[in-house]
Amino acid sequence: MSRIAITLDEHALAELTRRAQANSEPIARTAARFVRDGLLSTQATQPNASELTPPAGAAPPPSESTGRPGWLEPTDNHETWRRELWAAVSALTERYPQVFSQLTADWYTSRQLVESLAALNTWRSQLDAGQTTDPRAELLFHDRLEILERQLTHNNDPTTARFTGGPPPSEWVT
């Protein structure tokens, strides 16, 4: 591992500081994550870019019917998408119990959390399918899990019910 220095204008530094504070992590860690993410996502400048696999978390082909990435809720067929997401979140919870121990039972009421969990599931599925051969993609995924865990813990209300799986609530699915 090496250390480098970068120069940022005051606006970029303020935004970096804000994001680091939001994730309860040091500015250097946030900056390093952004640099790693940027390097993994800019394959066009690398030699033989056509032979490389897309970075983890890259958008799957848009749905034929909507043109939207698969991790975003479709404008039609909500019930199937929501049932599949519920099952995926249940699977992620079983696979990473410590990360999801503070996930509230009503997570599905937060659009930001729904989209984040759907994107994480898509990313995990791509990693499990071997769609990337770069081990940094796996490390970045776990960095994201760590950030999610901190966010869930930071927004923790000890009296709020926790997600335990089971069937999805009918009012959300329909």
Domain coordinates in residue numbering, the chain: 1-52, 57-173
Tell me what pLDDT residue 109 has.
95
Decide: 16 and 30 in contact? Cβ < 8 Å: yes
Instruction: Point out the residues of the chain with pLDDT beneath 50.
Output: 43-63
Tell me what pLDDT residue 78 has.
85
Tell me what pLDDT residue 50 has.
43
Measured between alpha carbons, how far is 65 from 88 in angstroms, rounded to an integer? Answer: 22
pTM over 0.85: no
Write down the H helix ranges in 48-95.
78-95
